[in-house]
Amino acid sequence: MSEKAFNLFFCGLMVFVAGCSKTLNLQVESEVPTPLASRLPLSLGVYYNENFLNYVFTEKSEVREDWTIDNRTSRITMFNEILPTMFSSVNKIDSPNISDGNVDIILEPEVLDMQVALPEETHTDMFEAWIKYGIKIYNPGGNLLTEWQLTGYGKTHTAMFKNKESGLNTAITMALRDLGAKIILDFSNVPEVKNWLSTKIDCSEHPGLC
Amino acid sequence: MLNKFIKLLILIGILAISGCKSTTVIDEYRENTSTTIMSEGESIVVLGRRNNSSYETEFDFVECVGRSLDSALNGINVIPEQSFVDSMYPYFETSKAPMDVQNLDRLVQIPEVANKLNDFKVRYFVWIDGFTETTDSTGAISCTVAPTGAGCFGFATWDDEANYEAVIWDFKDLNLSGKISAESSGTSYLPAVIVPIPLLARVQSSACTSMASQIRGFIQ
């Protein structure tokens, strides 16, 4: 066998093996655009707990023998990008139970669940991702106002030369964008938050929030 | 042998000429009969609807319509979809984008949104919804790789259909200007004698150029 033919055969074999691999180790790289939002005249304390800082999607099953999807950096970047556009100031705090006079409201986000689907699993031509968050909302002092649950969804088409890493990265990026959009636009519509806001801000200046 | 090869080439040539044609049907509906003419300096933004769970309007189709309009409209700016959606984040994300003109009206009550749309000088929103799919396929091709060489043999054919609808909103008057639908279909062929020769019906491309041409006629 000539060297050229061997190289061609070897390359084909590698592509075949990579395409059929049951393992996945994905480090999600994504960015959320700077939001166009009006700031609430409130000071926010944000507490990133262990779950939020360290959650990594893992799965060991027959069809997904060794899957790891790490989007820790992406979600922290997303929160750091959107929260300063929602509140007049944002402070990272070490515990939700603080009675700091400089903070009006406290958020503690955590990842409740994450699911992904490949085209061959759903028999569609889509890579899909769902990320479910729970955001605990506290008064200063640590009194829980409510726990708000929301889900971000993202999908992307299959395409030639788009492998599962690339497809899932795009789907997860879309899911994070969706989550960010829901946090920004739906936060003041959470009933408990809406009631609380009416005691904290001048409703004549922010008629849409009260 | 040479005679057979020439016959095969002729067959492929006939297929290329007679087949691979795509047929496109365009339908237009205008909300009012008054002409909707854009002024120089105004912008149009072409966006894809992606909230249907069973399909997704292709980014490249939306981009194709935008590019075709951009090259044909003199003095009128066509804003690229991704650039617009990123600039307006989060208001034009799939789950949050206005679904009708009334919702757009509510959206422009938000000062930041109104200012940004004014910066863009947006006059028209074009929302495209639809997809291209392969509806039927027959035939088979087998390829072999061996140390002595590689080659394919066989014949495959498939039908593609593209169905898209463009809804046009007039941002100046905050009303629905009209709707344009494009339906395109065609059959592609892939004969293979050692080397596969794709004879593709450019269904999506045909729908794109037809739709862009109709939108152009609509706003100019």
Q: pLDDT digits over A109-153, tens only?
A: 999 999 999 998 888 888 999 999 999 999 888 889 999 999 999
Query: What residues pair up with B95 in beta bridges, in sequence order?
Result: none
C-alpha dist (Å) from residue A187 to A88, A135, B111: 15, 10, 19
Nearest to A183 by CA among A90, A105, A100, A79: A79
Domains (range + CATH), chain B: 29-132+163-182+204-219 (3.40.50)
Q: In chain B, which residues have their Cβ closer than 8 Å to the Cβ of A131?
A: none
Measured between CB atoms, does A180 come within 8 Å of chain B? yes
pLDDT for position A30: 83
The string of DSSP codes covering B136-205 is EEEEEEEEEEETTEEEEEEEEEEEEEEEEEEEEEETTTTEEEEEEEEEEEEEEEEEEEEEE--B---HHH
Closest chain A residue to the Cα of B109, Cα to Cα = A208
Numbers of helices and strands, H then E, in chain B: 6, 6
Contact indicator for A78, A84 with CB cutoff of 8 Å: no
| Each residue's pLDDT tens digit, B172-213 | 888 898 999 999 999 999 999 989 999 998 999 999 999 999
Interface contact flag, B56 A32, Cβ < 8 Å: no
Instruction: For residue B25, give the H/E element and its range.
Output: strand B22-30
Q: Which of B87, B95, B110 sits opposite A182 (nearest CB)?
A: B95
Q: What is the pLDDT of residues B120-157, one digit of tens each?
A: 999 999 999 999 999 999 999 999 988 888 899 999 99
Q: What is the pLDDT of residue B30?
A: 81
Q: What is the pLDDT of residue B17?
A: 54
| Cα of B120 to nearest chain A Cα, Å | 14
Nearest to A150 by CA among A117, A193, A118: A193
Do A135 and A148 meet the contact criterion of CB atoms below 8 Å apart? yes
How many Cα neighbours within 13 Å face the side chain of A175?
A: 31
Spell out which residues of chain A touch residue B151, defining contact as CB-CB under 8 Å: none
> Considering only CB atoms, which chain A residues are within 8 Å of B88?
36
Assess contact for A107 and A133: CB atoms under 8 A: no
Q: What is the DSSP letter of A208?
A: T
Mutate to test the interface with B, among A16, A30, A36, A176 (most CBs of B within 10 A): A36
Among chain B residues, the shortest Cα distance to A2 is held by B147
Q: Which residues contact A134 (CB under 8 A, 6 or more apart)?
A: A109, A110, A112, A147, A148, A149
Q: How far is CA B24 from CA A6, B128, B164, B205, in A?
A: 47, 17, 11, 10
Q: What CA–CA distances, in Å, run from B66 to A123, B30, B69, B177?
A: 31, 20, 5, 18
Q: How many CA atoms lie within 13 A of A65 on its CB side?
A: 4
Query: Could you confirm whether domain A23-200 is CATH 3.40.50.1970?
Result: no
Least CA distance to A128: which residue of chain B? B53
Shortest CA distance from B84: residue in chain A: A33
Name the DSSP letter for residue A35.
Answer: P
Residue B48 has which token pair? 């894809």
Domain extent listing, chain A: 23-200
User: Model ipTM?
Assistant: 0.84
Q: Are β-strands B77-79 and B43-48 bridged in parallel, bridged antiparallel, or unpaired?
A: parallel
**What confidence category does residue B34 fall into, taking pLDDT thresholds of 50, 70 and 90?**
low
For the segment B1-18, the average pLDDT, to the nearest whole number, is: 61
From the list A131, A27, A31, the residue with the least C-alpha distance to A81 is A31
As a whole number of angstroms, the distance between CA B145 and CA B151 comes to: 7
Portion 77-136 of A in contact with B at CB < 8 A: 124, 126
The full length of chain A comes to: 210
Strand partners, B161: B133, B185
Closest among B204, B78, B177, B88 to A157, alpha carbons compared = B204
Tokens of B118: 């004014």
End-to-end CA distance of chain A: 78
Radius of gyration of chain B (CA): 22
Per-residue tokens: A138: 């506290």
Give the gap in angstroms from C-alpha A88 to the nearest C-alpha of chain B.
Answer: 16
Chain CA centroid to CA B120, Å: 23
Give which of B170, B166, B169 is closest to B181, Cα–Cα.
B166
pLDDT in tens, A57-82: 998 888 888 899 999 999 999 999 99
- Residue B1 tokens, joined: 């042998």
Range A201-208 average pLDDT: 72
Query: From CA B170, how far away is CA B87, in angstroms rounded?
Result: 20
CB contact under 8 A, A124 and B87: no
- The runs of H, that is alpha helices, within A28-145 are 50-54, 72-86, 119-122
Which tokens belong to A177? 């964008």
Chain B residues with at least one Cβ partner in A under 8 Å: 50, 54, 56, 58-59, 86-91, 93-96, 110-113, 116, 145, 147-148, 150
pLDDT in tens, A145-181: 999 999 999 999 887 667 889 999 999 999 999 999 9
Q: Collect all residues of chain A within an 8 Å Cβ-Cβ radius of residue B86.
A: 33
